[in-house]
Amino acid sequence: MAHSKKRWPLNAEEREGLRIVRSALRPRVGATPTGLTPRQREVVQVIREYTEEHNCSPSYKEIAELLSEPSNPVRVHECIKRLEERGHLTRIANHARSIRLLD
């Protein structure tokens, strides 16, 4: 007998996996043809300009200041994390100024 497909009900782990897959496939609100939101494009532009001018990548605090959000570097961190997940940049965890654009 061929293997049988598992039917409902799913356990909690299987439901969570399904939720993650569905959210990954769902188009993001505000995303452009490049796959970036306006905010992500702005962060990439700030990183590009800073790197060209200073020959090193900016810190999260500097990015937040350049985006006129000096009190919220956590939001910058989340945006950079998303950009890394989508393959637009790379960074080394726990290393200062390690952001590198991949385009």
pLDDT at 40 over 80: yes
pLDDT of the residue at 44: 93
pLDDT of the residue at 45: 94
pLDDT of the residue at 58: 94
pLDDT tens, residue by residue, 41-92: 999 999 999 999 999 999 988 999 999 877 777 888 899 999 999 889 999 8
User: What fold does the segment set 36-101 form as a domain?
Assistant: Arc Repressor Mutant, subunit A (1.10.10)
Predicted TM-score (pTM) of the model is 0.66
Domain segments of the chain: what residues?
36-101
pLDDT of the residue at 46: 94
CA distance 68 to 20: 33
